[in-house]
Amino acid sequence: MNPFSGSTIELPLIDSVVSLSKNEISFEVTKVILSADPASSPNDYIVAAIYGIDCDLAFIRAGDEAWTCMDKERFSCFSDVIYYKGQIFAVNRHRVLMIDVNRMARAPQVEEKEIAPQIIHTEHMYLVKSSSGKLLLVQRL
């Protein structure tokens, strides 16, 4: 929901986070990003979400009926995700991933970049766009 205009978009549940405790469907989404404003680009946006107890990552394009989840065997424990210069970038404890959203027809196309060895691996890492337009990795100790 856009808090200023009141417009909303409907998204399906991320199937793999459904929990049947107490006969209720419950899940936790810790972060959601959009590639574009659905009000101005109703057929051309991507939503990315960090979800679940393992902080997995999933994507959905405008008009899709189901989420595309990243391979949990290879990728989990995400702490942040950002849309930057036409791509989605995500960070977990060991690497920064660039997900090519233009080639995401069946499965996300992923380019991995190991985090520099001098970085202390922590759960508190964030991707931010600087005022000069650079993508930075910020770490909270």
Measure CA of the first residue to CA of the last residue in the chain; give whole Å.
33
Predicted model pTM: 0.81
Rounded Cα gap, residues 14 and 30, in angstroms: 13
User: What phi, psi does 2 have (nearest 5°)?
Assistant: -85, 115
Longest CA pairwise span in the chain (Å): 50
pLDDT tens digits, one per residue of 27-74:
688 999 999 999 888 898 999 999 988 889 998 989 888 888 888 888
Averaged over 109-120, what is the pLDDT?
61
Averaged over 119-127, what is the pLDDT?
74
Q: What angle do CA 49, 38, 135 make, to 5 degrees?
A: 55
User: What phi, psi does 79 have (nearest 5°)?
Assistant: -110, -20
pLDDT tens digits, one per residue of 73-87:
888 889 999 999 988
CB atoms within 10 A of CB 138: 12
Concatenating the DSSP letter of every residue in 76-95 gives --EEEEEEETTEEEEEESSE
